[in-house]
Amino acid sequence: MQPFTLRWLIPFTLVVLLLAACGDTADDSADTTVAPTTEPTTTATEPTTTTTEALSAVEDPGSGEQWDLVWISDSYGAGVADAWADRIEESEGVEVRVHNYIIGDLDIGNTRFMVTKEQVAANGRLKSDEGIRDELADAEIIVVFGNPRQKAPSDVETCARPGTDSREPPEYHTSADFAPYGDAFRDIYDTIFELRAGQPTVIRTYDAFAAALADWREAGIEPECTAAWEAQADAIHEAADEYGVSTASFYDEFNGTNHDEDAREKGYIAADGWHQSMDAGVTAQVEVLHALGYDPIVP
> pLDDT tens digits, residue range 228-238?
999 999 999 99
Residues 6+ apart with CB under 8 A from 235: 148, 175, 178, 179, 181, 182, 185
> pLDDT tens digits, residue range 117-161?
755 454 444 343 347 999 999 999 999 999 999 999 999 999 998
User: Which range has the worst mean pLDDT, 26-40, 104-118, 282-296?
Assistant: 26-40
Q: What's the confidence (pLDDT) of residue 118?
A: 55
Q: Answer yes or no: is pLDDT of 226 > 90.
A: yes
Q: What's the confidence (pLDDT) of residue 296?
A: 95
The dihedral sign for the CA sequence 50, 53, 57, 63? positive
**pTM beyond 0.85:** no
Mean pLDDT computed over 180-186: 98
User: Where are the extended beta strands (E) located within the chain?
Assistant: 48-49, 66-73, 95-102, 120-122, 125-127, 141-144, 202-207, 246-249, 297-298
Of 290, 184, 297, the residue nearest 243 (C-alpha): 297
> pLDDT tens digits, residue range 60-106?
333 347 899 999 999 999 999 999 999 999 999 999 999 999 999 99
Q: Answer yes or no: is pLDDT of 27 > 60.
A: no
All domains of the chain in start order, with CATH: 13-22+50-298 (3.40.50.1110)
Mean pLDDT computed over 248-253: 98
Q: Answer yes or no: is pLDDT of 38 > 70.
A: no
* 77, 70 contact by CB (below 8 A): no
User: Which range has the worst mean pLDDT, 53-62, 78-87, 173-182?
Assistant: 53-62
Q: Return the percentage of the chain with pLDDT > 70, whole number.
A: 74
